[in-house]
Amino acid sequence: MPLILITNDDGITAGGIKELVSIAREFGDVLVVAPDSPQSAQGHAITIERPVFVRESNVFGEEIEAYECSGTPVDCVKIAKSVLLDGRSPDLCVSGINHGSNAAINIIYSGTLSAAMEASLEDTPSIGFSFLNYQSDADFTVCRPYVRKLISHVLKHGMEEGSLFNVNIPNLPAEEIKGLKICRQAEARWVEEYVKGEDPRGRPYYWLTGKFVNEDPREDADANALRAGYVTLVPSHHDLTNHAALERLTTIEASLQPDGASGGDQGISREQHLEQF
């Protein structure tokens, strides 16, 4: 039986992860490792200055092996890989189902997608699912056929090494969803504003607000396809290299060297890299 690792960023008691568990168990053995409290917008944060606590949970019933973790979504995947899996490798990692969109630039901030990405770094095929419904009592029924189809597809056909799927599902009745569309990440952004206030002790604070601005005209940009009524799938990966600029910069590499520099190997060891933190 395939082994499926399940996590999220909304917490182990969230409705979305319950939906994932109910579907994933149709395809294989399930291990759930999820935060013990909501961890939205944690991105790829990891816990390094305090211990991480893990304890068994029966929130999904006695038949499902589940653990709640005091750390971030990425911590959950790391703990699963290093401790709880005891040398086993999952055949698939699914994260979510997130409450709200993780389209466009939201993938950078998302704990849901960062957890899936962390698993993909270990060559585990991974999918992050998000539902564009922000209500805590959201009905995930409309998500089921897409989650089921994608889990089945990846378990059968695999996924390119180092990649993951970012899947967003519009908050529409099932009959109004036009199907699934393979997309690119929209070039959209948050225009942010901090509202200043004062707490009861007279200390100033700043509360982050803002609005999502999408000026990407392409029909296959995920934010636009979602608005048009499609479920979107963006193949993603952790490589943040600007490949369009790489070739041009390589041709002028010599001119960028300081006087006397050879431009040779400047690599550092893993130990030296960790010391920077």
Encode 218-236 in three state secondary structure.
CCCEHHHHHHCCCEEEEEE
Residue with tokens 């992050």: 128
| Number of Cβ atoms within 10 Å of the Cβ of 50 | 8
pLDDT given at position 270: 47
| 125-154 burial: b if 16+ Cβ within 10 Å, else e | bbbbbbbbbeeeebebebbeebbeebbeeb
Check: CB of residue 30 under 8 Å from CB of residue 4: yes
Structure tokens at 213: 């601005």
Q: By C-alpha distance, which of 1, 2, 7 is closest to 93?
A: 7
pLDDT given at position 86: 86
pLDDT given at position 263: 60
Pairing of strands 65-69, 163-169: unpaired
What structural domains and CATH numbers belong to the chain? 3-187+215-237 (3.40.1210.10)
pLDDT given at position 262: 64
pLDDT given at position 215: 84
Q: What is the pLDDT of residues 208-263, one digit of tens each?
A: 888 888 887 888 899 999 999 999 999 998 888 888 898 888 888 888 888 877 66
- Say what the pTM is: 0.86
pLDDT given at position 274: 45
Residue with tokens 């997130």: 98
pLDDT under 70 in the chain at which residues? 262-277
